């Protein structure tokens, strides 16, 4: 592993670009856990393959797989997807991979956040997360890029940045006792400013209902571009998301971004509600941390999409809303092709397309 730099991105003039900015590649990890992905991860592997194929039409994709899965991954993924052997405990690249930062000279480095399986001893989803915690360092070592080891337990899905000084997160997640109980909100905010090189952190109260990540922001909101976001929306007063999305909207309506701009908020319909079927639950190996019971509400959201070069890849989740969402995204991303990929198998594991991908920003050399 490469030694961590002793400074911070902010001190060195590096910033995390917005997802809407140009990218050189997208990283993913191959699913195989039988206690998270049903039927020995076969359906999830097909879903990940479809996502990788959709992204690779616009941006190069590298899939990381364990030694035991390497041959299978290579045999089913498209030829234009690179496959690299690298172990991980599960396959949420957004949360375990590095957050990449760039400077004006075209250099790129990575932020390696501490990882404890979404809660550690308090409410972590599995007991052994050593490979997940080491993955960012290993990726940066393979890529021969500098590494900042942040003194903060954080997953990439817990933050969105606009590339112009603003970070959006949720208090539900970052202030959860399973993350950083020794740090208060102002201390966490200071670390986000140092390691993302942002000037303002906006705290939404909560994330999506029944999200086992403790309310990751990327499952309820997405940054379209600076000062413009999409927000998951529910109009059923009996649904818990009804109050959650209104609390988020109230925050966005009273806050301004780092450059003093008011937010334009676009509402995305909530799919479903969706629930795990008996057949789906029966295919999962029981484990202590991850509950996959028939009838459990899924944390399904159309906001969990990936913006990449010339494309937005979004999850198809509900025939009643899929076309409406595609139309909305088409209007919000002129010049980008909107591509839907079946997302149910991914949400069964606890996330979606944004959660299983991590973009590497382009530099002046790309």
Which residues participate in catalysis according to the annotation? 355
Structure tokens at 227: 């000062």
Whole-Å CA distances, 140 to 35, 86, 94, 293:
29, 12, 15, 37
Structure tokens at 11: 């001190």
Burial state string for 118-155 with b = 16 or more CB within 10 A and e = fewer than 16: bbbeeebbbeebebbbbbbbbbbeebebbbbbbebbbb
Gap between the Cα atoms of 193 and 87, Å rounded:
30
Half-sphere exposure of 316 toward its Cβ, with a 13 Å CA cutoff? Answer: 10
- Can you say whether the dihedral through the CA atoms of 294, 356, 218, 265 is positive or negative? negative
- Can you say whether the dihedral through the CA atoms of 253, 259, 264, 266 is positive or negative? negative
Among the listed residues 45, 47, 137, 156, the one whose alpha carbon sits nearest the alpha carbon of residue 94: 156
**β strands within 55-107, DSSP E:** 61-65, 81-85, 99-102
Tell me phi and psi for residue 316, to 5 degrees.
-85, 120
């Amino acid at each position: 592993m490469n030694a961590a730099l002793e400074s911070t991105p902010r001190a060195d003039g590096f910033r995390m670009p917005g997802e809407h900015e140009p990218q050189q590649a997208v990283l993913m990890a191959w699913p195989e856990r039988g206690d998270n992905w049903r039927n020995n991860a076969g359906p999830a592997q097909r879903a990940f393959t479809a996502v990788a194929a959709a992204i690779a039409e616009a941006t190069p994709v590298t899939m990381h797989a364990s030694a035991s899965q390497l041959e299978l991954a290579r045999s089913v993924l498209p030829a234009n997807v690179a496959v690299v052997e690298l172990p991980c405990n599960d396959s949420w690249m957004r949360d375990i991979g590095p957050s990449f930062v760039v400077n004006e000279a075209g250099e790129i480095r990575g932020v390696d956040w501490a990882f404890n399986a979404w809660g550690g001893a308090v409410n972590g989803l599995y007991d052994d997360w050593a490979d997940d915690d080491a993955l960012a360092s290993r990726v940066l070592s393979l890529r021969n890029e500098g590494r900042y080891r942040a003194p903060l337990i954080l997953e990439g899905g817990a933050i969105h940045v606009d590339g112009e000084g603003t970070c959006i997160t949720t208090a539900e997640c970052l202030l959860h006792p399973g993350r950083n109980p020794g740090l208060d909100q102002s201390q966490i905010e200071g670390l986000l400013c140092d390691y993302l090189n942002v000037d303002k952190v906006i705290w939404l109260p909560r994330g999506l209902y029944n999200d086992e990540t403790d309310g990751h922001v990327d499952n309820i909101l997405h940054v379209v571009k600076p000062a413009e976001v999409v927000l998951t929306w529910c109009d059923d007063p009996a649904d818990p998301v009804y109050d959650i999305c209104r609390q988020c909207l109230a925050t966005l309506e009273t806050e301004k971004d780092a450059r003093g701009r008011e937010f334009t908020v676009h509402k995305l319909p909530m799919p479903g509600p969706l629930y795990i079927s008996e057949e789906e639950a029966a295919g999962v190996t029981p484990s202590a941390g991850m509950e996959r019971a028939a009838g459990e509400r899924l944390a399904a959201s159309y906001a969990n999409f990936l913006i990449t070069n010339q494309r937005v890849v979004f999850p198809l989740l509900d025939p009643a809303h899929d076309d409406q969402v595609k139309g909305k995204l088409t209007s919000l991303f002129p010049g980008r092709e909107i591509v839907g990929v079946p997302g149910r198998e991914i949400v069964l594991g606890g996330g979606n397309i944004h959660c299983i991908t991590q973009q590497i920003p382009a530099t002046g050399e790309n």
